[in-house]
Protein backbone atom coordinates (compact mmCIF):
# COMPACT_ATOMS: atom_id res chain seq x y z
CA UNK A 1 0.00 0.00 0.00
CA UNK A 2 1.47 3.32 -1.01
CA UNK A 3 1.25 6.26 1.38
CA UNK A 4 -1.42 8.75 0.44
CA UNK A 5 -3.16 6.44 -2.04
CA UNK A 6 -5.58 3.56 -1.98
CA UNK A 7 -3.68 1.59 -4.63
CA UNK A 8 -2.52 -1.91 -3.75
CA UNK A 9 -0.40 -3.74 -6.31
CA UNK A 10 -0.71 -7.50 -6.45
CA UNK A 11 2.04 -9.14 -8.48
CA UNK A 12 1.17 -12.51 -9.96
CA UNK A 13 3.94 -14.56 -11.52
CA UNK A 14 3.95 -18.10 -12.81
CA UNK A 15 7.52 -18.67 -13.95
CA UNK A 16 7.58 -21.84 -11.84
CA UNK A 17 4.27 -23.21 -13.19
CA UNK A 18 3.83 -25.39 -16.27
CA UNK A 19 2.83 -23.37 -19.37
CA UNK A 20 -0.68 -24.84 -19.36
CA UNK A 21 -1.35 -23.44 -15.90
CA UNK A 22 -0.52 -19.77 -16.48
CA UNK A 23 -4.17 -18.70 -16.78
CA UNK A 24 -5.18 -20.59 -13.64
CA UNK A 25 -2.49 -18.78 -11.66
CA UNK A 26 -3.92 -15.43 -12.75
CA UNK A 27 -7.56 -16.46 -12.42
CA UNK A 28 -7.24 -17.44 -8.73
CA UNK A 29 -6.48 -13.93 -7.36
CA UNK A 30 -8.90 -12.36 -9.81
CA UNK A 31 -11.67 -14.64 -8.54
CA UNK A 32 -10.78 -13.95 -4.92
CA UNK A 33 -10.82 -10.20 -5.45
CA UNK A 34 -13.86 -10.08 -7.68
CA UNK A 35 -16.17 -12.39 -5.78
CA UNK A 36 -15.66 -10.34 -2.60
CA UNK A 37 -15.86 -7.05 -4.50
CA UNK A 38 -12.32 -5.99 -3.55
CA UNK A 39 -10.94 -5.36 -7.02
CA UNK A 40 -11.53 -1.60 -6.98
CA UNK A 41 -8.42 -0.39 -5.11
CA UNK A 42 -6.20 -3.26 -6.23
CA UNK A 43 -4.16 -3.54 -9.41
CA UNK A 44 -3.03 -6.97 -10.58
CA UNK A 45 0.36 -7.22 -12.29
CA UNK A 46 1.04 -10.27 -14.44
CA UNK A 47 4.66 -11.35 -14.63
CA UNK A 48 6.55 -14.37 -15.92
CA UNK A 49 7.53 -15.47 -19.44
CA UNK A 50 6.02 -12.38 -21.03
CA UNK A 51 8.01 -11.86 -24.24
CA UNK A 52 5.73 -10.89 -27.12
CA UNK A 53 2.78 -8.69 -27.90
CA UNK A 54 0.50 -11.71 -27.78
CA UNK A 55 1.65 -12.50 -24.24
CA UNK A 56 0.66 -8.97 -23.23
CA UNK A 57 -2.72 -9.20 -24.94
CA UNK A 58 -3.41 -12.62 -23.44
CA UNK A 59 -2.71 -11.56 -19.87
CA UNK A 60 -4.61 -8.29 -20.16
CA UNK A 61 -7.58 -10.11 -21.69
CA UNK A 62 -7.72 -12.59 -18.82
CA UNK A 63 -7.88 -9.74 -16.32
CA UNK A 64 -4.46 -8.34 -15.45
CA UNK A 65 -4.22 -4.56 -15.17
CA UNK A 66 -0.65 -4.41 -16.40
CA UNK A 67 2.27 -6.69 -17.27
CA UNK A 68 5.88 -6.81 -16.20
CA UNK A 69 8.50 -8.28 -18.53
CA UNK A 70 12.06 -9.01 -17.40
CA UNK A 71 12.98 -12.04 -19.51
CA UNK A 72 12.37 -10.27 -22.82
CA UNK A 73 14.51 -7.31 -21.80
CA UNK A 74 17.28 -9.66 -20.70
CA UNK A 75 17.24 -11.39 -24.08
CA UNK A 76 17.37 -8.02 -25.83
CA UNK A 77 20.31 -7.08 -23.62
CA UNK A 78 22.22 -10.14 -24.80
CA UNK A 79 21.35 -12.90 -22.32
CA UNK A 80 22.04 -16.32 -23.86
CA UNK A 81 20.25 -18.28 -21.11
CA UNK A 82 23.38 -19.98 -19.78
CA UNK A 83 21.68 -20.43 -16.38
CA UNK A 84 24.85 -19.56 -14.45
CA UNK A 85 23.78 -16.11 -13.23
CA UNK A 86 24.78 -16.91 -9.64
CA UNK A 87 28.37 -17.88 -10.52
CA UNK A 88 29.66 -14.47 -11.65
CA UNK A 89 30.67 -16.13 -14.92
CA UNK A 90 27.89 -14.89 -17.23
CA UNK A 91 29.41 -15.21 -20.73
CA UNK A 92 27.37 -12.31 -22.14
CA UNK A 93 28.47 -9.93 -19.37
CA UNK A 94 24.93 -9.25 -18.16
CA UNK A 95 25.04 -10.91 -14.73
CA UNK A 96 28.67 -10.58 -13.70
CA UNK A 97 31.05 -8.20 -11.97
CA UNK A 98 34.08 -9.65 -13.73
CA UNK A 99 35.68 -6.92 -15.90
CA UNK A 100 36.95 -9.53 -18.35
CA UNK A 101 33.35 -10.56 -19.05
CA UNK A 102 31.31 -7.38 -18.83
CA UNK A 103 33.67 -5.44 -21.09
CA UNK A 104 31.90 -7.20 -23.97
CA UNK A 105 28.60 -5.58 -23.03
CA UNK A 106 28.64 -2.29 -24.95
CA UNK A 107 26.09 -0.12 -23.19
CA UNK A 108 25.52 2.25 -26.11
CA UNK A 109 24.73 -0.66 -28.42
CA UNK A 110 22.66 -2.70 -25.96
CA UNK A 111 20.60 0.34 -24.93
CA UNK A 112 19.38 0.71 -28.51
CA UNK A 113 18.53 -2.99 -28.71
CA UNK A 114 16.47 -2.90 -25.52
CA UNK A 115 14.68 0.29 -26.59
CA UNK A 116 13.87 -1.21 -29.99
CA UNK A 117 12.60 -4.42 -28.43
CA UNK A 118 10.30 -2.42 -26.13
CA UNK A 119 9.01 -0.27 -28.99
CA UNK A 120 8.43 -3.22 -31.35
CA UNK A 121 6.65 -5.21 -28.63
CA UNK A 122 4.29 -2.32 -27.93
CA UNK A 123 3.71 -1.91 -31.68
CA UNK A 124 2.91 -5.61 -32.05
CA UNK A 125 0.49 -5.36 -29.13
CA UNK A 126 -1.27 -2.41 -30.77
CA UNK A 127 -1.54 -4.34 -34.04
CA UNK A 128 -3.17 -7.31 -32.31
CA UNK A 129 -5.64 -5.07 -30.52
CA UNK A 130 -6.50 -3.27 -33.75
CA UNK A 131 -6.93 -6.57 -35.63
CA UNK A 132 -9.61 -7.48 -33.10
CA UNK A 133 -11.47 -4.26 -33.88
CA UNK A 134 -10.53 -2.65 -30.56
CA UNK A 135 -8.99 0.70 -29.71
CA UNK A 136 -7.60 0.23 -26.19
CA UNK A 137 -6.32 -2.50 -23.90
CA UNK A 138 -9.21 -1.79 -21.53
CA UNK A 139 -11.55 -3.28 -24.16
CA UNK A 140 -9.86 -6.69 -24.01
CA UNK A 141 -11.63 -9.51 -22.21
CA UNK A 142 -11.65 -13.30 -22.14
CA UNK A 143 -13.90 -13.56 -25.18
CA UNK A 144 -10.96 -12.47 -27.33
CA UNK A 145 -8.74 -15.44 -26.44
CA UNK A 146 -9.26 -18.97 -27.73
CA UNK A 147 -7.56 -22.16 -26.61
CA UNK A 148 -7.42 -25.60 -28.17
CA UNK A 149 -8.50 -28.01 -25.42
CA UNK A 150 -8.51 -31.17 -27.56
CA UNK A 151 -7.52 -32.05 -31.09
CA UNK A 152 -11.05 -31.32 -32.26
CA UNK A 153 -12.27 -28.64 -29.84
CA UNK A 154 -11.41 -24.97 -29.37
CA UNK A 155 -12.98 -22.99 -26.57
CA UNK A 156 -13.06 -19.33 -25.62
CA UNK A 157 -11.49 -18.33 -22.35
CA UNK A 158 -14.76 -17.00 -20.97
CA UNK A 159 -16.11 -20.56 -21.33
CA UNK A 160 -13.11 -22.13 -19.67
CA UNK A 161 -12.86 -19.49 -16.93
CA UNK A 162 -16.35 -17.92 -16.62
CA UNK A 163 -16.81 -14.46 -15.18
CA UNK A 164 -18.39 -14.27 -11.73
CA UNK A 165 -20.50 -11.36 -10.49
CA UNK A 166 -18.69 -8.90 -8.23
CA UNK A 167 -19.35 -9.45 -4.53
CA UNK A 168 -21.28 -12.68 -5.10
CA UNK A 169 -19.53 -14.48 -2.21
CA UNK A 170 -20.48 -11.85 0.34
CA UNK A 171 -23.85 -13.55 0.58
CA UNK A 172 -23.31 -17.34 0.80
CA UNK A 173 -26.97 -17.90 -0.09
CA UNK A 174 -26.34 -16.41 -3.55
CA UNK A 175 -22.98 -18.06 -4.13
CA UNK A 176 -22.56 -20.20 -7.27
CA UNK A 177 -22.73 -23.92 -6.71
CA UNK A 178 -19.02 -24.28 -7.48
CA UNK A 179 -18.22 -22.20 -4.39
CA UNK A 180 -20.90 -23.53 -2.04
CA UNK A 181 -18.86 -26.36 -0.51
CA UNK A 182 -15.81 -24.17 0.03
CA UNK A 183 -17.84 -21.46 1.74
CA UNK A 184 -19.43 -24.04 4.02
CA UNK A 185 -16.04 -25.46 4.98
CA UNK A 186 -14.16 -22.17 5.37
CA UNK A 187 -13.38 -20.83 8.82
CA UNK A 188 -12.46 -17.13 9.16
CA UNK A 189 -10.53 -17.83 12.36
CA UNK A 190 -7.99 -20.29 10.92
CA UNK A 191 -6.57 -21.58 7.67
CA UNK A 192 -7.63 -25.20 8.27
CA UNK A 193 -11.12 -25.90 6.87
CA UNK A 194 -13.92 -26.35 9.35
CA UNK A 195 -14.87 -29.64 7.68
CA UNK A 196 -13.24 -32.01 5.24
CA UNK A 197 -13.05 -31.03 1.57
CA UNK A 198 -15.77 -33.30 0.20
CA UNK A 199 -19.41 -34.17 0.70
CA UNK A 200 -20.13 -37.55 2.25
CA UNK A 201 -23.20 -39.40 3.49
CA UNK A 202 -22.20 -38.60 7.08
CA UNK A 203 -21.31 -35.13 8.41
CA UNK A 204 -17.57 -34.55 8.53
CA UNK A 205 -16.02 -34.27 11.94
CA UNK A 206 -14.21 -31.27 13.30
CA UNK A 207 -10.46 -31.78 12.68
CA UNK A 208 -9.70 -29.67 15.76
CA UNK A 209 -11.83 -31.72 18.15
CA UNK A 210 -8.97 -33.98 19.25
CA UNK A 211 -6.67 -31.02 19.84
CA UNK A 212 -9.26 -29.24 21.98
CA UNK A 213 -9.85 -32.42 23.94
CA UNK A 214 -6.14 -32.57 24.81
CA UNK A 215 -6.04 -28.87 25.58
CA UNK A 216 -9.48 -27.82 26.89
CA UNK A 217 -8.26 -24.34 27.84
CA UNK A 218 -7.89 -23.47 24.19
CA UNK A 219 -4.27 -22.45 24.50
CA UNK A 220 -1.51 -23.17 22.09
CA UNK A 221 0.09 -26.57 22.26
CA UNK A 222 3.77 -26.60 23.10
Q: Which residues, in sequence order, are CB contacts of 101 under 8 Å at separation 6+?
A: 89, 90, 91, 93
Pairing of strands 8-13, 42-47: parallel
CA distance 114 to 195: 53
Q: Which residues, in sequence order, are CB contacts of 146 under 8 Å at separation 6+?
A: 154, 155, 156, 157
Q: What is the pLDDT of residues 8-66, one digit of tens each?
A: 445 554 444 444 456 667 777 787 788 778 877 888 888 888 899 999 999 999 888 88
Q: Which residues, in sequence order, are CB contacts of 142 under 8 Å at separation 6+?
A: 61, 62, 63, 156, 157, 158, 161, 163
pLDDT of residue 7: 44
User: pTM for this one?
Assistant: 0.71
E strands within the chain?
Answer: 8-13, 42-47, 66-68, 146-150, 153-156
Among the listed residues 160, 158, 166, 168, the one whose alpha carbon sits nearest the alpha carbon of residue 61: 158
pLDDT of residue 185: 80
Q: Which residues, in sequence order, are CB contacts of 67 under 8 Å at separation 6+?
A: 45, 46, 47, 50, 55, 56, 59, 60
pLDDT of residue 205: 53
Low-confidence ranges of the chain (pLDDT < 70): 1-24, 195-222
CB-based burial label for 58 (10 Å; 0-12, 13-18, 19+): buried
Give the domain ranges of the chain: 8-160, 171-214
Pairing of strands 146-150, 66-68: unpaired
pLDDT of residue 8: 46
Amino acid sequence: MFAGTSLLLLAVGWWFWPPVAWAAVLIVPLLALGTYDLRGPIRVIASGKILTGFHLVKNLAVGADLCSSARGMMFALGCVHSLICNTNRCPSGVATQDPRLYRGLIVADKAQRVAQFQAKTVHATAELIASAGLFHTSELNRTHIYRRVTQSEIRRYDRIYPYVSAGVLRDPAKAPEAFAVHLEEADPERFVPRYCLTRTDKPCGDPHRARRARNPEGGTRP
